[in-house]
Amino acid sequence: MAVIKLQRPKLGPGEAIYLTALAKGFFLTLSHAVKSLLGKSMGAKDLASSGLGVTMQYPEQTWDDHLPEYYRGAPALVTDEQGRERCVSCQLCEFICPPKAIRIIPAEIPSDDPWAKVEKRPAAFDIDMLRCIYCGMCEEVCPEQAIFLRKDYVITGLNRKEMVHHKDKLYQIGGVRTGLVNKWNELK
Amino acid sequence: MSDTPSATIPITLPKDLAAAMGRVNVQINGQWHHFPKATRMIEACRQVQVAVPHYCYHPKLTPSGNCRMCLVQIGMPPRPAPGQQPQRDALGYEPITWSPRAVIACANTVSENMGICTTSELVESCQAGVMEFLLINHPLDCPICDQAGECRLQENALGHGRGVSRFVDRKVKKPKNVTIGPRVRLDDERCILCSRCIRFMDEVAGEPVLGFTQRGTHTTLSVHPGRLLDSNYSLNTVDLCPVGALTASDFRFHMRVWFLKETPTIDVNCGTGTNITVWTRENTIHRITPRRNNDVNSDWMPDSHRLNFHYIDSSSRLTDPLAKAGNHHRQATWAEALQIIAPQLKAIAAPAIAIIASGRMTNEELFLTRLLAQQLGTPHLALVPRFAAPDALLIAADRNPNTTGAKLVLQSADPYAGLDAIRSAVRAGTIKALLVFGEDLISDAGFATADLTKLEFLLQTHLLANPTADAAHLVLPAAAFTEKRGSMVNLTGRLQRLNRATALPGQARDDWEILRDLTHVFTGAAAAPAQIDEVFAQLAATIPAFAGLSLATISPAGIPLLDTGHSIPLLDTERARTAAGRING
Q: Are residues B300 and B177 in the same domain?
A: yes
Please name the residues in contact with A110: beta carbons below 8 A apart, sequence gap of 6 or more.
A116
Residue B1 falls inside a structural domain: no
In total, how many domains does chain B have? 3
For position A53, what pLDDT does the model report?
66
The fraction of chain B above a pLDDT of 90, given in percent, is 81
Domain that holds residue B219: 137-154+161-313
pLDDT per residue as tens digits for the range B506-517: 999 999 999 999
Do the chains contact at B143 and A90, CB–CB below 8 Å? yes
Q: Kindly report the CATH number that applies to the domain delimited by A75-174.
A: 3.30.70.3270
Q: Are residues B40 and B141 in the same domain?
A: no
Task: Among A31-40, B1-10, B474-483, name the one with the lowest average pLDDT.
Answer: B1-10
In whole angstroms, what is the distance from residue B368 CA to residue B406 CA? 12
For position B523, what pLDDT does the model report?
72
Residues of chain B neighbouring A120 (CB-CB closer than 8 A) = 144, 253
pLDDT band for B2, please (50, 70, 90 cuts). Answer: very low
For position B456, what pLDDT does the model report?
92
The CA-based angle B320-B326-B327, given to 5 degrees, is 80
Please name the residues in contact with B148: beta carbons below 8 A apart, sequence gap of 6 or more.
A90, B142, B154, B244, B256, B257
B317, B403, B437, B449, B471 from B466: Cα distances, Å: 10, 23, 13, 12, 9
Residue B7 falls inside a structural domain: no
Question: CA end-to-end span of chain B, whole Å?
Answer: 43
For residues B440 and A48, the model is more confident at: B440
Mean pLDDT over each residue of chain A, to the nearest integer: 89
Mean pLDDT across A35-52: 74
Residues of chain A neighbouring B177 (CB-CB closer than 8 A) = 111, 119
Residues of chain A neighbouring B172 (CB-CB closer than 8 A) = none
- Residue B167, domain CATH: 3.30.70.20
Q: Are residues B76 and B203 in the same domain?
A: no
pLDDT band for A58, please (50, 70, 90 cuts). Answer: confident
Helix (H, G, I), strand (E, B) or coil at A173: helix
In whole angstroms, what is the distance from residue B488 CA to residue B149 CA? 33
- Residue B107, domain CATH: 3.10.20.740
pLDDT per residue as tens digits for the range B376-408: 899 999 999 999 999 999 999 999 999 999 999
Residue B125 falls inside a structural domain: yes
Residues of chain A neighbouring B148 (CB-CB closer than 8 A) = 90
Q: Which amino acid is at B39?
A: T
For position B201, what pLDDT does the model report?
96
Please name the residues in contact with B53: beta carbons below 8 A apart, sequence gap of 6 or more.
B69, B70, B127, B152, B155, B156, B159, B160
Do the chains contact at A91 and B148, CB–CB below 8 Å? no
3-state SS of B445-483 is CCCCHHHHHCCCEEEEEECECCHHHHHCCEEEECCCHHH
Q: Are residues B299 and B424 in the same domain?
A: no
Do the chains contact at A117 and B176, CB–CB below 8 Å? yes
For chain A, the helix, strand and coil percentages under 3-state DSSP, each to the nearest 5: 25, 15, 60
Q: Are residues B522 and B540 in the same domain?
A: yes
Do the chains contact at B254 and A90, CB–CB below 8 Å? no
In whole angstroms, what is the distance from residue A75 CA to residue A142 CA? 12
* B140, B141, B176: best to mutate for the A interface, most A CBs within 10 A: B141
For position B327, what pLDDT does the model report?
85
Quote the DSSP letter at residue A10: P
Strand partners, B76: B97
Q: Are residues B202 and B334 in the same domain?
A: no
Residue B254 falls inside a structural domain: yes
Residue B574 falls inside a structural domain: no
- Residue B348, domain CATH: 3.40.50.740
* B185, B249, B251, B253: best to mutate for the A interface, most A CBs within 10 A: B253
Residue B268 falls inside a structural domain: yes
Nearest CA in chain A to B175: A117
Nearest CA in chain B to A93: B143
For position A52, what pLDDT does the model report?
63
Whether the per-residue pLDDT at B19 is higher than 90: the answer is no
Torsions phi, psi of A118, nearest 5? -70, -25
pLDDT band for B1, please (50, 70, 90 cuts). Answer: very low
Residue B584 falls inside a structural domain: no
Mean pLDDT across B357-368: 95
pLDDT per residue as tens digits for the range B178-211: 989 999 999 999 999 999 999 999 999 999 999 9
Strand partners, B298: B293
Strand partners, B458: B434
For position B381, what pLDDT does the model report?
94
The fraction of chain B above a pLDDT of 70, given in percent, is 98
Of B143, B254, B258, Cβ closest to residue A144: B143
Do the chains contact at A106 and B176, CB–CB below 8 Å? no
Q: Are residues B326 and B305 in the same domain?
A: no
Strand partners, B331: B322
In whole angstroms, what is the distance from residue B70 CA to residue B59 CA? 14
Please name the residues in contact with A143: beta carbons below 8 A apart, sequence gap of 6 or more.
A90, A92, B142, B143
* B137, B142, B144: best to mutate for the A interface, most A CBs within 10 A: B144
Q: Smallest CA–CA separation between A182 and chain B, in Å?
A: 13
Whether the per-residue pLDDT at A66 is higher than 90: the answer is no
Nearest CA in chain A to B252: A108
pLDDT per residue as tens digits for the range B427-481: 999 999 999 999 999 999 999 999 999 899 999 999 999 999 999 999 999 999 9
Mean pLDDT over each residue of chain B, to the nearest integer: 92
Question: Any idea where the domains of chain A sit in the sequence?
Answer: 18-62, 75-174
Nearest CA in chain B to A91: B256
For chain A, say whether B136 makes contact (Cβ under 8 Å). Answer: no
For chain A, say whether B167 makes contact (Cβ under 8 Å). Answer: no
Residues of chain A neighbouring B173 (CB-CB closer than 8 A) = 188
In this structure, the number of other CB atoms found within 10 A of the CB of residue B294 comes to 15
Nearest CA in chain A to B147: A90
Question: CA end-to-end span of chain A, whole Å?
Answer: 50
Mean pLDDT across B483-504: 96
pLDDT per residue as tens digits for the range A90-117: 999 999 999 999 999 999 999 899 898 8
Upstream peptide bond of B529 is cis (omega within 30 degrees of 0)? yes
Do the chains contact at A108 and B170, CB–CB below 8 Å? no
Mean pLDDT across B283-309: 95
For position A188, what pLDDT does the model report?
43
In whole angstroms, what is the distance from residue B330 CA to residue B478 CA? 17
Torsions phi, psi of A155, nearest 5? -105, 105
For chain A, say whether B550 makes contact (Cβ under 8 Å). Answer: no
Whether the per-residue pLDDT at B3 is higher than 60: the answer is no
Residue B585 falls inside a structural domain: no
In this structure, the number of other CB atoms found within 10 A of the CB of residue B417 comes to 12
Q: Are residues B271 and B351 in the same domain?
A: no
Q: Are residues B452 and B305 in the same domain?
A: no
Of A120, A143, A144, Cβ closest to residue B253: A120
Q: Are residues B142 and B185 in the same domain?
A: yes
For residues B4 and B217, the model is more confident at: B217
Q: Are residues B398 and B297 in the same domain?
A: no
For chain A, say whether B282 makes contact (Cβ under 8 Å). Answer: no
pLDDT per residue as tens digits for the range A115-134: 988 999 999 999 999 999 99
What's the complex ipTM?
0.84
Question: In A, what residues contact B, Cβ < 8 A?
Answer: 88-92, 94-95, 106-108, 111, 117-120, 143-144, 183, 187-188
pLDDT band for A187, please (50, 70, 90 cuts). Answer: low
In whole angstroms, what is the distance from residue B369 CA to residue B408 CA? 13
Q: Smallest CA–CA separation between A95 and chain B, in Å?
A: 8
Q: Are residues B286 and B347 in the same domain?
A: no
Residues of chain A neighbouring B176 (CB-CB closer than 8 A) = 117
* A142, A187, A188: best to mutate for the B interface, most B CBs within 10 A: A188
Do the chains contact at B148 and A90, CB–CB below 8 Å? yes
Quote the DSSP letter at residue B142: T
Q: Smallest CA–CA separation between B217 and chain A, in Å?
A: 17
Mean pLDDT across B252-273: 95
Question: Reading across the β-sheet that carries B246-248, which strands appear in turn?
Answer: B178-179, B184-186, B246-248
Q: Among candidates B491, B448, B46, which has minimal Cα distance to B267? A: B491
B357, B488, B546 from B413: Cα distances, Å: 16, 17, 17
Whether the per-residue pLDDT at B544 is higher than 60: the answer is yes
